[in-house]
Each structure stands twice: as C-alpha cells, then as structure tokens.
Amino acid sequence: MAAVVAGSHARALRIADEGTSVDAPDTSAFAKVGSWARAQAKIGRGMVEEMDLASSALFVVSAAMSYKEKKMVALITQAVGSFIKLYLLLLFVRVLLTWFPNVDWMRQPWAILRQVTDPYLNLFRNLIPPIMGQIDFTPILGFMVLQFLAKVLSSDPSVGRF
C-alpha cells in the first residue's frame, strides 16, 4: 500500500516538473493537486509581475495608520469610560449624603458636588416625580444609564464596575 502511494506521489511530482497539461489521462488525487498547485503558482507569478510597489507601500502606510487610529479610538473610549466611572462615584457620594439631613449643601465641598451632579439628575427628575414627595428614584435611573454607557464604551470589561 505504501509503495502504491509513494509511486503515485512520485508520478505526480514528475508531472508537475514536466509541465504536463491538466488534461492528462491520469485522474489520481496527486495529479489533480499537482495541476492545482501549478495553476496557483502561475496566478501568483502573474500577480507579482503586475504589482505596483508604490501602491503596495501606500497600502502598508495606510494599514499602519489605521492601526494607530484604532489605538487612539481605544484610548479615547477608555478615557471616557474612566470619566463615567468617576462620575458614578460622585453620584454615589451625592446619594449617600442626601440620607443625612444635617448636610449643608451651601458649604464647600458639598456645593461643588451638588453643582456637578444635579444637572445630570435633573434630566431624570422630569421623567420620574418623587414618590410621596420625599423618595427620589431618579438616581437609580441615572446610575443605570451611566452603567450602560460605560459597558458600551469600554473595551475592558472591568470599566463601569465598582
């Protein structure tokens, strides 16, 4: 059996070396593979002869630039994700401080915290009114929206998690 396979392989190599046409009467698998390999080699030689070095150099430069652009986009999205994570932390502190009635929101640093977080929370206060006049669920909706944005923007799965 091995002698038959080796003989067929040697014959296929001889056909490939002689340049026998594809219409050879032998239809063995090695002959078909040999003719296919010759055809692919001919196509490859034709492509190399037609290749313009200036356009291929331009292609390499554009590929490198697109790689740099991808890195820049990844850097920007990670920066925005980090900002969202920091803003989530500020919102969390703001919500915790609302549980203490003796916090004076007009004194520093609480006034700055209020000025930074209230415009975002006011977007949702128009959608969900306080329940019984005192329970405000807008921070929950605000947290959910920011968490969603952090997940969408992040390439790192840990961005947006506490």
Residues 75-111 as b/e (b if ≥16 CB within 10 A, e otherwise) read eebeeebbebbebbeebeebbeeeeeeeeeeeeeeee
Q: Name the residue type at position 143.
A: F
d(CA 56, CA 103): 67
User: For 112-160, how does the pLDDT look when each residue is reduced to its tens digit (9 = 90+)?
Assistant: 989 999 999 888 888 877 777 777 888 889 999 999 988 887 755 544 4
- pTM for the whole thing? 0.53
Length of the chain in residues, anyone? 162
Structure-token match 């003796």, residue found: 102
Would you tell me the crossing angle of helices 2-18 and 29-50 to the nearest 10 degrees?
30
User: For 34-78, how does the pLDDT look when each residue is reduced to its tens digit (9 = 90+)?
Assistant: 888 888 888 877 777 776 666 666 566 566 667 777 788 778 888
